[in-house]
Structure 1
Amino acid sequence: MSVPIDVSDEVLSGEAVAIDVQPVGFLLRALGAAIDMIVGYAVFILWLFLRIWLLDAGVLDEATDRIATVAALVVSFVVLPITMEVALKGRSLGKLAVGGRIVRVDGGAAGFRHAFIRALLGVLEIYMTFGGLAVLTGAFNARSQRLGDLVAGTYSQRVRTPALPSHVPVLPPALAGWAQIADVARMPDRLARRISQFLVSAPRMLPDARARRPRAADRGDPVRLTGPARSARAGAHGHHGAAQRARATRAGERRPSDREAHGPSDRRLIIRRTAPDSGQ
C-alpha cells in the first residue's frame, strides 16, 4: 500500500555502500501498532478497576483521584511505550509479533530521545484518533512511517527474515563416471588461451558461428570467421606480424659483430631471408 522506495532513500554506510535492509510493510506495521494500542488501553482499563476498588475502600478522595487518573494516562500511553522501546532496543510487544524494530533512518540504533518523541506524538496520532492519523501518514511514504517516525527520524526495520533453504549440491547420475576420472587441476596454457580468445570474440560472432566454433575446435578443424569476428582476428594477426618484424629488427641491431664478421655475400643472404617477413 505504501509507495516504492526511491534510490535516494537507500540506507548508506560510512563507506557509501548501500545496505540491503527492508522496512516493515504497511499492513504488518498497522498490526503491530494495533497490538501496542490494545496493550496501552488494557493497562488503563486495569487502572480504572483499581480506581473503583480504591474509591470504595476510601483510600482515594476527589483530589487524589484526579491526580491518579492523570498519572495513569501518562503511564499507560507515554511511559509504558518509552520504557518498552528503550529496554527492548527499539522493540515492543507489537513489533516483536510482526518482526520489526525501530531504527534511525541511517540504520543506527534508536535511543531514548527517539522513543520519547514517538511516544508523545503517538498520543495524538494513535490513542486520540484511534490510529487514523498514523494510517493516513504511513500510507503515503515508502517506509510506512507515521508522524512520530517522521519527526524523530526513525522507521520500523524488518528483522525477521525467512530462512533460506539449504542447498546440497547433487551430482547428476550421468556424470558419475566423469567425476571419477575428472582432473580438476589447472587447465593447459594452450586450452586456456583458446578459451579466452573464444570468450573475447563470442559477443561479435553470429549465433551459428559461435555454436560451430567449439565443436570444430574439438575435432581440430580450422574455423572460418566472418563479419566482425574475422576483422577482429585479422587485426590481431596484423599486430602479431608487426610484433614479429619489430623483434627481427631489434635482433639484427643487437648483432652487428656477426654482420661485420661475414662478407658481403653473407649480408645479402641475411637480407634475402628477412625479406619475406617484411612483406607480411
Structure 2
Amino acid sequence: MSQVVTGEAVAIDLRPAQLGSRMIAGLVDLFIQLFVLYSVLVFTLVAVNPQDEALAVAVVIVVYVATMLGYPVIFETFLRGRTVGKMLMKLRVVRDDGGPVRFRHAFVRGLIGAVVERPGALFGLPAVMAMLFSHRSKRLGDLFAGTVVIHEGVPSMAGVVPAVPAPLAGWVVGLDLTGLDDELTGTVRGFLGRVHELSPEAQERIGADLVAQVRAVVTPPPPPGTPGWAYLSAVLAERTRRSYRRLRAVSRARYGPGEIPGVPLHYYPGHLLTPEVLAPPPPPAYVGPQPPGGYPIPGPPSGSPYR
C-alpha cells in the first residue's frame, strides 16, 4: 500500500501495481505492438519499395518508433492511463498526485520505454531493475514522467471502510484536520483495519494512545462520552471524504464529470455522509455512552471490539 498525495496535499491510499501484473500487461501490449509493427512494416515496405538500403533502414526506424511509441501514448492519453494489457489486468497509470495522466505524461513514458527500456539486448531489463528498486514499482518511464501504475479494483482501506456514526455527523463537518498528517492517518487506518486481530489489552492500549495523538492535533474535541473507536472512525471518514471531494472537483473541472482515474467506482466515499446519515436517527437499540444531543453512539462494528 502506498499513499498518493493530491495537489491539495491530501493523502489518498492507492495500491501500486506489482511487477508480476505489470509484466503480464506488458506482454499483452507487446504482442499487440509486434503484430501491428509487422503488419505496418510489411505494408509500408511493399508500398514504398525502397531501392536504397539507407531508405529502407529509415523506413524501418520510422515505423518502429511510430508503433512502439504511438501505441502507449495514444491509448494512455485517450483511455486515461490504460492500454489493452492494463485493462485486462485492471491497471491504470496516474500521476504521482493521483490525478489522470495527460499527453505529456504518456509521451515521456512511451519515449523512455521505446528508446531506453526495451531496445536491443537490454529488452525490458532496465524497466524491471527500476521496478525492483522502487517501493512503488516505478519503471524508468514512471520516474521521468512523474507517474505510477496502480490497481484499479483494489480497495485502499486495508480492510476497513471508515464511517461516521450518525450522532457525530454534525460534529465532523466543523473539524480542523490541518494538523492530521499522513503518517498518523495511516496508523489510525491500519489500527481500525486490524483491531479484531489484537487482544483486548492491546486494543485498549493502542487505541487510547491513538485517540490521544489525534485529539492533540484535531479540533474541536469530540462530544463527551464518545467511544474511542467512534472518534477515530469519524475523523478518518471525514478526512477521506474531504480528500475525494477535492480530488473529484479538480478532476471534474479539468476533464468533465465521471470517475476519478485510479479510484475504484465502488470506493467513492459518498456513502460516508449520506442524507440518511446526516438525518437524526430514530432512538434505536444502540449501545454505548449517551452524548449530549439525545442520541446514543452505536456500539463498535462487528469484528471491531475496540471501544
Give the TM-score normalised by the residue count of structure 2.
0.46
Instruction: Tell me what 1:126 maps to.
Output: 118
Task: Give the match for residue 104 of structure 1.
Answer: 95
Give the distance between the partners of 2:136 and 2:88, measured in 1 at CA: 18
Distance 1:132 1:66 in 2: 25
> 2 CA distance for matches of 1:161 and 1:192?
37
Give the C-alpha shift of residue 117 in structure 1: 1.0
Query: Does the 8 Å contact 1:100/1:156 carry over to 2?
Result: yes
Match for 1:61 among 25, 29, 51? 51
Paired residues of 1:36 and 1:92 also in contact (CA < 8 A): yes
Distance 1:43 1:21, change over 3 A: same
Residue 20 of structure 1 aligns to which amino acid in structure 2?
Answer: D
Distance 1:127 1:81, change over 3 A: farther
CA distance in 1, matches of 2:283, 2:32: 64
Secondary structure, in 3 states, of the residue corresponding to 2:71?
helix
1:78-123 deviations in whole A, cap 9, x for unaligned?
Answer: 1222111111111111111111111111101111111111111101
Q: Aligned AA for 2:51?
A: D
1:26 matched to 2:19? The reply is yes
* Residues 129-175 of structure 1: per-residue CA shift (max 9 Å, x gap): 2211111110111111101101111010211238x9xxxxxxxxxxx
Task: Write the deviation string for residues 52-87 of structure 1: whole angstroms up to 9, x where unpaired.
Answer: 6447xxx44326534422221121111222111111
Residue type of the partner of 1:134?
Answer: A
Aligned amino acid, residue 88 of structure 2:
A
| Unmatched runs of 5 consecutive residues or more in structure 1 | 165-183, 194-280
In structure 2, the partner of 1:82 is: 73
Question: Is the CA contact (8 Å cut-off) linking 2:15 and 2:154 kept in structure 1?
Answer: no
Aligned residues: 160
Q: 1:137 to 1:105 in 2, by over 3 A?
A: same
CA RMSD across the alignment: 2.9
How far, CA to CA, are the matches of 1:118 and 1:65 in structure 2? 28
Give the aligned residue type for 1:101.
Answer: R
| Amino acid aligned to 1:61 | Q
Within 2, Cα distance between the matches of 1:145 and 1:186? 50
Distance 1:69 1:185, change over 3 A: closer
Which is higher, the Rg of structure 1 or of structure 2?
1
Q: Counterparts of 1:176-215 in structure 2 under 5 Å?
A: 185=283
Taking the aligned partners of 1:131 and 1:93, their CA distance within structure 2 comes to: 19
For each residue in 1:172-205, what CA deviation from the matched residue of structure 2 results, as whole angstroms up to 9, or x when unmatched? xxxxxxxxxxxx8479xxx969xxxxxxxxxxxx
* SS of residue paired to 2:85: helix
From the superposition, tell whether residues 10 and 54 of structure 1 become closer, same or farther in structure 2 (CA, over 3 Å).
same
Q: CA deviation at 1:40?
A: 1.9
2:5 and 2:96 in contact (8 A); partners too? no
1:127 offset after TM fit, Å? Answer: 3.8
Contact 1:137/1:146, CA 8 A, preserved across alignment: yes
Q: Could you say which residue in structure 1 is the equivalent of 2:141?
A: 148
Structure 2 unpaired stretches of 5+: 160-281, 292-307
Q: Percent identity?
A: 33
Cα separation, partners in 2 of 1:133 and 1:86, compared to 1, 3 Å: same
Distance 1:185 1:97, change over 3 A: closer
